[in-house]
Chains A and B, each alone.
Chain A
Amino acid sequence: MSPAREVACPSCGAPVKFASAVSLLSICPYCSSTLLRRDLDVENVGKMAELVADSSPLQLMAEGRYRGAYFTVVGRIQVEYSEGTWNEWFILFGDGRTGWLGEASGSYTVSFETPVQEAIPPWEGLHPGLQVTLKGRPYEVSDLREAKVVGGEGELPFRVGCGYAARVADLRTDSERFATLEYSDETPRVFLGEAVEFGALQLRGLRRFEGW
């Protein structure tokens, strides 16, 4: 956020900060000039929000812990859907297990592709509110998304093409556990996981944000 809100004073060249995305005026701390923002859409102030800069604190080779086991972030796919984007980071545990660390706007999930005995309903049969049992536990379909992979990097278990489309169903519970059903192949893939607090992941090697 903050670095973006800095300008060089047109009078003396010193860096001048605007307090927020909608600050119109600022005083140069060096030459005391009054600076007037020119890029602010004054007409929309109070009516429409600005968009938050979308950036992930994770990056390849970041390390963390999940339920006591160490993992390294080795790959990433970037997925886009109508409401925004999210990242699925491919993680490799010390014992060779692999999983996915999902990350969007500061919320984090860890999930694993898990074979299940139960029959998975076809995409056409899904609707929000539908109850689905996976590994003997109840889940509820919360939303259905047509997602598009817009990028990938690092090591991944499959080849990612730009624009690769995936139909994704999110299933949730009344706890932190959740499931994702992905309908890109003939047989849907099942991912079971849970939402995790950022602090609990004990992540290291993160991207740095100026001022934070």
Chain B
Amino acid sequence: MTATPQAPVDSRPRKPAAPSAKTLTCSGCGAPLAVRAPGHSLSVACGSCGAVLDAKDPNLQIIASFEKRTKLKPLIPLGTRGRFRGQPFEVIGFLVRQVTIEGETFAWSEYLLFNPFQGFRWLTEYQGHWISAKTASGIPKADPSGGEGAVSYLGATFRHFQMAEAETIYVLGEFPWRVQAGERVVVEDYISPPRILSSEVTPEERTWSIGEHVDGEQVWKAFKLSGSPPPREGVGVAEPSPYAPQARTMRWLFLAFLAAAFVLNLLFGLMAQNRVVYSKQFQYVRGQGSPAVVTEPFELTGRRSNVLVEIATTVTNQWAYFTLALIDEATGQALDFGREVAFYAGVEDGESWTEGSRNDSVYLSSVPSGRYYLLISPETDAAGLGYTLRIRRDVPRTMHFFVALGLLAILPLWFWFRKAHFEYRRWRESDHPWVESGGSDEDDD
């Protein structure tokens, strides 16, 4: 290492020239003038003699010209200092950029924050959604695993959101380079909410910045602004989904309930009697007495539960209808029901076919325990009918499990729908909407 005489370093901080100023004084009495309500109807009047400055006065013209050029007011006034994300920052620049997509213009604001040690940060605001960003030190690389155009950076995958040509339409304050109105850059956004990667391409270079969604309230608090931040419209490009943190819980809850329903179903199956309480074959021949039969009494025991009535017949190309009544021996109370079986079979064009079924079964639910008998009166178009009747008590049913499953699924499905709808609204603003917009798609929220 050598200590050598070097070319001198210009180590003075390069400052803009110190401002110069003059006082506005009344030409009549020499007292200071006061500017009233700048931005509205501008007037400059003498606080002492009340004389009002003439509209042709050059000073007034400068003020009027300035007012005209500063109609677009930054929400955070230039010169505001605040503590943002743990560091002091001053708002030194403001610009408005816009993109035109399919004839529609969208404008957003960008605030430049500065700290002599930390450098620059950007705060952008679009429809009440704020993003804090800084220059990225690396360059993201293509990551096909995240879909078309996706990139990965610092271990995360960012999905391509939008590409547009942005034009600077308004600029106020200080910037590290000479920003000029009318400048155009191609902006591309990639998202991994709450983070966003943006690239800006000019003919000379491509620069990347990494940003993160910030709540408007946080910005207001950081810069001690009065009033409240602009209301949020729609879903912000990098706005974190309010459903994402709950999605896991929801999945686990659903799985837990599912397991519980399954175990309960299994338990009920084990506890059920599933007992044949009656089984008998009957023969009915037309013209030989009454078709109606009364069964012997049978005992239904245990808790209030179901009864399965199964009828197996021998009909072929015939039908049979059974009028049935389950009668409580003690009270005489009857539960009436009717069942029909019909079975047809044949051969057509060399292929055999069948239709209907010879057998039937029906569940009678919540039958109290007691002694019962069954009244059966069959009707049929056949000359004779043989059938077997079987009655089972307390039969476990998997249908209950599926009903429970369906009910359990309602909440997760609703939740999933909300979550998907949120993403749908986010991506609707992108180059990759889920549904190609057909001109009129009004927001339903």
- The proximity string for B residues 175-198 relative to A, scoring 1 for CB distances below 8 Å and 0 otherwise, is 111111100000000000000000
How far, in Å, is A11 (CB) from chain B's closest CB? 5
- The proximity string for B residues 11-31 relative to A, scoring 1 for CB distances below 8 Å and 0 otherwise, is 111111111111111000000
Given A48-B178, A52-B92, CB of A18 within 8 Å of CB of B19: yes
Chain A residues, Cβ within 8 Å of B20: 7, 37-39
Q: Which of the 9-residue segments B69-77, B100-108, B250-258, B409-417 touches chain A? A: B69-77
Given A105-B119, A212-B115, CB of A36 within 8 Å of CB of B63: yes
Q: How large is the interface on B (under 10, 10 to 19, 20 to 34, 35 or more residues)?
A: 35 or more
Supply 28 A–B pairs (Cβ within 8 Å), ascending by A: A1-B92, A2-B90, A18-B21, A20-B79, A21-B92, A22-B172, A34-B24, A34-B35, A37-B19, A38-B20, A42-B65, A43-B65, A46-B69, A46-B171, A47-B171, A48-B171, A50-B173, A52-B92, A57-B117, A155-B2, A156-B6, A159-B4, A159-B6, A173-B138, A175-B138, A178-B138, A198-B118, A212-B117
Question: Which residue among B21, B22, B23 has the maximum number of chain A CB atoms within 10 Å of its CB?
Answer: B21
Question: Which residue among A32, A33, A156, A195 has the maximum number of chain B CB atoms within 10 Å of its CB?
Answer: A33
Contact B16 A4 (CB under 8 A): yes
Q: How far is it, in angstroms, between the C-alpha of A143 and the C-alpha of B139 when the chains are bound?
A: 11
A53 within 8 A of B: yes
Q: How far is it, in angstroms, between the C-alpha of A7 and the C-alpha of B18 when the chains are bound?
A: 7
Interface residues of A in 1-47 (CB under 8 A from B): 1-7, 9-11, 16, 18-26, 28, 31-40, 42-43, 45-47
Chain B residues, Cβ within 8 Å of A25: 35, 38, 63
Q: How far is it, in angstroms, between the C-alpha of A40 and the C-alpha of B213 when the chains are bound?
A: 35
A146 within 8 A of B: no
Chain B residues, Cβ within 8 Å of A5: 19
Closest 8 CB pairs of A and B: A106-B119, A55-B13, A195-B137, A20-B78, A19-B79, A162-B7, A20-B79, A152-B6
Contact B175 A161 (CB under 8 A): no
Contact A49 B173 (CB under 8 A): yes
B246 within 8 A of A: no
A51 within 8 A of B: yes
Contact A161 B114 (CB under 8 A): no
Given A36-B23, A38-B20, A46-B70, CB of A178 within 8 Å of CB of B173: no
A113 within 8 A of B: no
B332 within 8 A of A: no
Chain B residues, Cβ within 8 Å of A48: 171, 178-181
Q: How far is it, in angstroms, between the C-alpha of A45 and the C-alpha of B94 when the chains are bound?
A: 11
Contact B116 A209 (CB under 8 A): yes
Contact B173 A36 (CB under 8 A): no
Given contacts A4-B15, A19-B78, A54-B176, 15 further A-B contacts (CB under 8 A): A1-B114, A23-B78, A24-B62, A42-B65, A47-B69, A49-B175, A53-B13, A76-B9, A140-B139, A155-B1, A156-B2, A174-B153, A176-B154, A195-B138, A212-B117
Question: Which residue among B23, B33, B63, B78 has the maximum number of chain A CB atoms within 10 Å of its CB?
Answer: B23
Given A53-B16, A161-B7, CB of A47 within 8 Å of CB of B137: no
B34 within 8 A of A: yes
- Name which residue of chain A comes closest to B155, CB basis: A175
How far, in Å, is A172 (CB) from chain B's closest CB? 5
Contact A49 B141 (CB under 8 A): no
How far, in Å, is A135 (CB) from chain B's closest CB? 17
Of the residues A32, A52, A195, contact of B32 by C-beta under 8 Å: A32
- The proximity string for A residues 158-180 relative to B, scoring 1 for CB distances below 8 Å and 0 otherwise, is 11111000000000111111100
B152 within 8 A of A: yes
Question: Which residue among B33, B135, B174 has the maximum number of chain A CB atoms within 10 Å of its CB?
Answer: B174
How far, in Å, is B64 (CB) from chain A's closest CB? 10
Q: Residues on A close to B: CB < 8 A?
A: 1-7, 9-11, 16, 18-26, 28, 31-40, 42-43, 45-57, 59, 76, 78, 83-84, 98, 105-107, 109, 128, 140, 142-143, 149-162, 172-178, 195, 198, 206, 209, 212
B88 within 8 A of A: yes
- Name which residue of chain B comes closest to A59, CB basis: B11
B140 within 8 A of A: yes
Contact A160 B38 (CB under 8 A): no
Question: Which residue among A7, A22, A83, A128 has the maximum number of chain B CB atoms within 10 Å of its CB?
Answer: A22
Contact A46 B154 (CB under 8 A): no
Chain B residues, Cβ within 8 Å of A9: 21, 23
Chain B residues, Cβ within 8 Å of A39: 17, 19-20
Given A47-B171, A49-B173, CB of A178 within 8 Å of CB of B9: no
Contact A52 B117 (CB under 8 A): no
Chain A residues, Cβ within 8 Å of B11: 56, 59, 153
Q: How far is it, in angstroms, between the C-alpha of A158 and the C-alpha of B3 when the chains are bound?
A: 9
How far, in Å, is B34 (CB) from chain A's closest CB? 6
Chain B residues, Cβ within 8 Å of A40: 19, 66
B170 within 8 A of A: yes
Contact A1 B174 (CB under 8 A): yes
How far, in Å, is B364 (CB) from chain A's closest CB? 69
Of the residues A36, A51, A98, A142, contact of B178 by C-beta under 8 Å: A51
Of the residues B3, B19, B92, contact of A7 by C-beta under 8 Å: B19
How far, in Å, is B46 (CB) from chain A's closest CB? 11
Q: How far is it, in angstroms, between the C-alpha of A40 and the C-alpha of B152 when the chains are bound?
A: 45
Given A36-B59, A175-B138, A175-B154, CB of A45 within 8 Å of CB of B23: no
- Name which residue of chain A comes closest to B117, CB basis: A57
Chain B residues, Cβ within 8 Å of A174: 138-141, 152-154
Given A24-B62, A152-B9, CB of A45 within 8 Å of CB of B172: yes
B205 within 8 A of A: yes
- Name which residue of chain B comes closest to A194, CB basis: B137
